[in-house]
Structure 1
Amino acid sequence: MFKNRLYIIENKTSLHVGSGDANFGIIDKQIQRDAITGYPTIHSSSLKGAIKEYCTYKHNIEDSKNFISYIFGDEDNSGKVRFIDSHLLSIPMRSDLNPYCHCVSPKSIGQLLDFADTFGLELKNRKDLEKFASSIALDILVANGTPTIEDEQAKTSSGYDFSALEELVGSPVALVPNTTYDELLKDLPVIARNQLENGESKNLFYEEVLPRKSKFFTVISEPNYLNKADETKLQNAFERFSGYLTDNDTIHIGANASIGYGICTFKEV
C-alpha cells in the first residue's frame, strides 16, 4: 500500500515546537511531548506544515504546477504523502571529557525498532540495536573512558557494539538508563524572552527548547497503489519531494525563525 522512508531529523539550532497547551507552571511555553513516553516529539501536522513551506520555497512552479497539491493536498483533495509524528532518538548531554555526548535510552531505541516493524523497514545492525533496547543496566554506558555526563558517572562497557549507535546519531555516544533519561528530559533548557512594544517591556515569559544536535526519527509514506494514469506523474513528484528533503539546504521547523530557532536537516536512513 505504501512505500515507507525512514528519516533522521537533526536540529542545528535550538528547537521550539510548541504544545499550544495552557500551562500554569513556571514555564509559559512548553514543547510538544509524546503522550505515552513523555519524550519530546514533533507532531505530524507541525512537520507537514514546515515541509510544505520549504517545498513551496524550493519548487519552481513552471516545472510542475500541481506538485504541491499532489504531495500536500489542496482545498478539494488530500495529499498523497502520509506524514507520521517524529520521535526523539538522541539528545546531547554535557560531559567532562567531551563538550557533549549523543545520549540514547533503551526506550528511544526500542521505539525506533517498533517503527521499523510497524512500517516494514530494514535497519542496519538490527541485532546490536535490539541489544541496546533490552538493556537493564543502571549506569550510563559508553564505549571508552569513564566520563561524567550531567553529573552521572558513566562506565565503560565492552558488551555492546556502540558503532551501531554512532552510525545513527554520531560520536561520542552514551546509553542512558530509562529512568535517568526520563529525569533529564524533564529538565530541558528554558530561555527567558521579553515581549517589547515601542522598546518597552510588556511581558516576560519563559520558553522551553530542545538543544541543538538533538535527533528525531520519522517515517514519511508514499502510496504505491496509484492508477496507471497517475503513476508516472506522481512517482516523479515523490522523487522530487525526497530530493528536496535531503538536499544541502536546511528546513525550518517550529517557532521563532527570526531569531534562528528550528534550523533542521533531514537524512534518509
Structure 2
Amino acid sequence: MGEKAKLIFWQALTPVHPGTGQDSSSVVDLPVAREVATGFPIIPASSLKGVLRDGREDERANRVFGSLESAAELTLTDARVLFLPVRAYAGTFAFLTSPLVLERLRRDQKALGLSPLQAKIPTPGKTEALLGAGPTIVHGGQVILEDIDLEARVGAVSGLAEELGRLVFGNEAGYFQERFALVHDDVFAYFCEMGMEIIARVKLNPDSKTVVKGGLWYEEAIPAETVLSCFAIGSEGFEELERPYLQIGGQASVGRGLLRRLGGGA
C-alpha cells in the first residue's frame, strides 16, 4: 500500500502550553515551543504523537507509531499556527493570518500531493487588514487590535476567506469568515511574539497556604481559539487521528491544553 497524506486542523479550546522543557531565564520563565526561523509558536509533532499513542504498547500502536525495533507507519509534522486570535475593539476578536503562513501551507499541500489553496493570496501593506465580505471586526473603517490599528479593506479577500472557511471550519465557516483578517507578515510575527497568553503560577506551602520562596513563575501559552495545521503521512493508521479532541501540553489537570479537531481537512 502506497503512502498518502492528510491535512489536519486543530483548534485550541483552552490555552495550550507546548513547553520547551527549559527555563528561559527571562521574564517568561516557561515559554512555548517556537520555530527557529520564524519565531511562530508550534505544537511539536512528538507531543501530538505522544498523546495519540497515550502510553499504548500493543502491536498496533507499535506498528502505527513506531517502536525501538521498527519505524512508524504514520508520520506527523509539527502543528503550525494558521489563524491567531487577537482581541479586537469590534467583533470581540479577529482571526489573523499572513501571506507567509498561507503560502507555506499551499507549498506543503503541493509537495504532498494534496489539492492546494486556489484563491489568490495578496500582500497587504503594513497598515492594512484585508477582509472578507460582511466582517464584524470593523470600527470606523479600521480593524482596531490590541496594540495596532489597521485600515480595513472590506471584501478584498472574500474568495480566500470563503475557501479557508470551507476547508478548515466546514459548517462553522460563517463564524470564521466574519473575523478573518489577512495582515502583513511583520504584523503577524509581532502578534505571534507579543500575543501569547501569560499565566502566573504559584506553589503554595501545604501548611501555611502561602507562596513558598521562589514559588512564583510565569508560563506562556498559545491562546484559546488559535487554529493550527499539521500533516499526517503514511500507509495506514489515519483512523488514529479521528478523535474529536486531544489534551496536550502542560497543566492538563487545570483544564489547559484542550484541542478539538476541526471538520475540514483534506
TM-score, length-normalised on structure 1?
0.81
Task: Give distance in 2, aligned partners of 1:105 and 1:8.
Answer: 17
8 A Cα contact 1:13 1:263, kept in partner: yes
Q: 1:246, 1:265 within 8 Å by CA — same for their partners in 2?
A: no
SS at match of 1:264: strand
Q: Does 1:141 align with 2:130?
A: yes
Q: Does residue 72 of the first structure (1) align with residue 65 of the second (2)? A: yes
Deviation for aligned residue 1:263: 0.5
Question: How big is each residue's C-alpha offset from its partner over 1:122-156, in whole Å with a ceiling of 9 and x where there is no partner?
Answer: 13xx231xx22x41433122234433222413412
What corresponds to 2:162 in structure 1?
163
Between the two proteins, the alignment pairs up a number of residues equal to: 239
| Greater mean deviation of Cα atoms: 207-216 or 149-158 | 149-158
45-54 or 35-44, which moves further after superposition? Answer: 45-54
Amino acid at match of 2:118: K
Whole-angstrom CA distance in 2 between matches of 1:115 and 1:197: 50
Q: What's the offset of the Cα at 1:183?
A: 1.1
Q: SS of the counterpart of 2:118?
A: helix
After TM superposition, which residue ranges in structure 1, 4 or more long, deviate above 4 angstroms?
none
* 2:258 corresponds to: 263
Corresponding residue SS for 1:97: coil
Which residue identity is paired with 2:216? Answer: L
Aligned to 1:152: 149
- Aligned equivalent of 1:226: none
SS of equivalent to 2:109: helix
CA displacement at 1:239 relative to structure 2: 5.0
What corresponds to 2:118 in structure 1?
127
- The answer to whether 1:181 aligns with 2:204 is no
Establish whether residue 36 from structure 1 lines up as the match of residue 37 from structure 2. Answer: yes
The answer to whether 1:45 aligns with 2:36 is no
Is contact 1:140-1:174 (8 Å) kept?
yes
Structure 1 portions without partners, runs of 5+: 224-234
Tell me if structure 1 keeps the 8 A contact 2:124–2:130: no
Structure 2 counterpart of 1:201, one-letter code: V
Mapping 1:99-138, distance limit 5 Å: 99-123=92-116, 126-128=117-119, 131-132=120-121, 134-138=122-126
Query: How does the TM-score come out when normalised to structure 2?
Result: 0.82
Counterpart AA for 2:183: V
Gaps of 5+ in 2: 170-175
The equivalent of 1:216 in structure 2 is 228
2:259 alignment partner AA? C
2:195 corresponds to 1:195 = no
> Shift of the alpha carbon at 1:71?
1.1
Q: 2:242 aligns with which of 231, 241, 246?
A: 246
1-structure distance, mates of 2:151, 2:38 = 24
Displacement of 1:19 in angstroms is 1.6
Matches of 1:185 and 1:19 in 2, distance apart?
16
Q: Structure 1 residue 21: deviation in Å?
A: 3.4
Post-superposition offset of 1:261:
0.7
Local SS of the residue matching 2:82: strand
* C-alpha separation in 1, matches of 2:53 and 2:261: 14
Root mean square deviation, CA, Å: 2.1
Q: Give the C-alpha shift of residue 22 in structure 1.
A: 3.7
Partners of 1:239 and 1:43 in 2: how far apart?
18
Question: Residues of 2 paired with 1:7 and 1:154: CA distance?
Answer: 32
Give the distance between the partners of 1:246 and 1:72, measured in 2 at CA.
Answer: 15
